[in-house]
Chain A
C-alpha cells in the first residue's frame, strides 16, 4: 500500500475501500457502512463527511462543501480527525496528488 505512512493533506483524495458500501438506512435512522457480514452506524457528522467521499473530491473540497452546507463552523479539524479514524479502521484509502 502506498499510503502506509499516512499524511492527510488538503490535496489528498479519500475513497471508500473496495468491499465497503455506504448508504442511508431508514430502519436505523442513520448512515451506515456495510461490509462483509457487518455494519457500522455513522453518527450525523461522520455520515455527512462520508457522503462526500467519492474518490474524486479532495479533502479541501470536502471541507469547503461541508462549510457551505453548515455555515459558520470550522470543520477542517473534524474532517481530518474522521479521515484518520476511517483510514485506521480500513474503511477508506487515501490517494495523494
Chain B
C-alpha cells in the first residue's frame, strides 16, 4: 500500500459524484470504458445503499451527480434516485443511450428535478451500417430528441469517434442538426477497458483526424451559435498528458454498480490498492481517510520525470491507469508525455495507425464487443497476467 499524500490536511471536498448504477446494457460498444471484467463484480447495490451514499457525498460538498452505467435506464429506481438526489441539492445529469427513455419516465425525471440529459449515439459498430445509413439509430434518437425537447431540456449529444466512424463526421453532424441538437460532443475514444482491447482497430490516422477537424470547423462556421460543437482529440496524438480527473481524489469520485468507490472510472484495475465499498464505509472516511484515495494525492508518489517537472502542478503526471496499462507501474509518468522514457509505446501505436486500414467488414470478426461472454473470458485472462 502506498503512503498517504503529503497534503492530506488540505484535501478539498469532492464536487462530482458519478454513479455507474448498473453494468447492464443493451448495447455492446467496442469502445466502452466500463471495466472489461465487470461480470466478476458483486451484485448491484440497493436503492437504499445508493441514496445513503448520495446523501453522504452531498454532505461532503458534492454538487454534481451523474447517473450512468451501463445503461442507467436498465434500473427501475432511477426515478427515485433523481427525485431524492435533486431534493438533496444535487444537479442531476442523466447519461444515457436513450434506449428505454419513454415519455412516462422522462415526465417523472422532470417532475423529480433532473437537470440535464446527455444522449449518446449507440454506435456500437455491430450496427455500424445501420448507424451510418441513418435508419434505426436516427429514428430512435429522433424520437428521444423530441421527448427531450418537449420536456424543455437542451439537446446534448455525445458521439464517440474512432477509426471506423470518424470519416462520417459530416453525416453525424448533419444528423445532430436534423434532430435539433444544441450541444454536440465529438469525443475521440480514450484507450481504456474495451477500447484498449480494441485499440488497433479504433485509433484513427492523423489524416483522418485532420479531415474530421476540418469538417467540424466548416460545420461550426455554418451553424454559428445555434449549435455548440466540441471536438476532443485522442490523447495519443498529444505530447503532454491530460490532467486526469483534475488530480487523483481532487474533485471526482465514481461509485461502481457493486458499491466500490473509485477516484476514476478505470482505477479498479490498479494493483496494490484496495478500494472501499459504500456498504462497509461512509463517504467521509472514503474520501478523506482511505489509503486508496490518498495513494496519489500530493506529489509524494512522484518519480522522475514528474518529480522535478515544472508542469507537474498542471497535469499531475497524467493518468495513472494509462501509466499502469502501458508501463506496468501506475506511479510512472503517463507515457503520453514525451518526457516519459516509455513515450515510444504511444508513438508506436500512432505510427501503426498511419498504415492503411482494412475495411470495416474485415475488422468485425476480430474486434471485441462488450458483452458478458467476452467479459468472462477477459476476467480469466486478467487473473493470471497483467496487461502488457
Could you list which residues of chain A lie within 8 angstroms of chain B, going by C-beta atoms? 18-19, 21, 23, 25-28, 32, 34-39
Whether A19 pairs with B63 at a CB distance below 8 angstroms is no
Contact A37 B64 (CB under 8 A): yes
**B184 adjacent to chain A (CB < 8 Å):** no
Q: How far is the CB of A32 from chain B (nearest CB, A)?
A: 7
Distance of A27 Cα from B57 Cα, bound (Å):
11
| Complex CA distance for A37 and B63, rounded to whole angstroms | 9
In the complex, the answer to whether A34 meets B61 with C-beta atoms within 8 Å is: no
With A18-B152, A19-B115, A27-B13 already in contact, the answer to whether A35 and B63 are too (CB < 8 A) is no
Return the 6 tightest CB-CB contacts between A and B, nearest first.
A27-B61, A34-B91, A36-B116, A27-B13, A39-B63, A21-B91
Give B358 Cβ to nearest chain A Cβ, in Å: 37
The contact of B116 among A19, A25, A28, A32, by CB within 8 Å, is A19
Q: Do B63 and A34 touch across chains, with their CB atoms under 8 A apart?
A: yes
- Say yes or no: B152 contacts A36, CB within 8 Å: no
A35 to B116: give the CA distance in the assembly, Å: 9
Tell me which residues across on chain B come within 8 A of A26, comparing CB atoms: 61
| A16 to B24 Cα, complex, angstroms | 37
CA–CA, A21 to B154, complex, Å?
Answer: 15
How many residues of chain B are within 8 Å of chain A by beta carbon? 18
Shortest distance in angstroms between A15's beta carbon and chain B's nearest beta carbon?
Answer: 14
Contact B61 A28 (CB under 8 A): yes
Please list the residues of chain B having a beta carbon within 8 angstroms of any beta carbon in chain A.
Answer: 13, 15-16, 60-61, 63-64, 66, 89, 91, 93, 115-116, 118, 152-154, 156
Contacting pair A25 B64 (CB below 8 A)? no
Residue among B60, B115, B154 making CB contact with A27, cutoff 8 Å: B60
**Inter-chain contacts of A38 with B (CB < 8 A):** 64
Residue of B nearest to A26 (CB): B61
Residues in A with CB closer than 8 Å to B61 are 25-28
**Contact in complex: B93, A37 (CB < 8 Å):** yes
Q: What are 12 A-B pairs at a CB distance below 8 A?
A: A19-B153, A21-B91, A23-B89, A26-B61, A27-B60, A27-B61, A32-B63, A34-B63, A34-B115, A36-B91, A36-B118, A37-B16
Chain A proximity of B336: nearest CB distance (Å):
24
CB distance from A83 to the nearest CB of B (A): 21
Given that A19-B116, A25-B63 are contacting pairs, would A35 and B13 also be in contact in the complex, using a CB cutoff of 8 Å? no
Contacting residues, chain A, for B89 (C-beta < 8 A):
23
Q: Closest residue to B156 on the A side, CB-wise?
A: A36
- With A19-B115, A21-B115 in contact, is A36–B93 under 8 Å at CB? yes
Report A-chain residues with C-beta under 8 Å of the C-beta of B66.
Answer: 37
Q: B15–A39 contact, CB under 8 A?
A: yes
Tell me if B64 and A39 are in contact (CB < 8 A). Answer: yes
Q: List B contacts of A34 (CB < 8 A).
A: 63-64, 91, 115
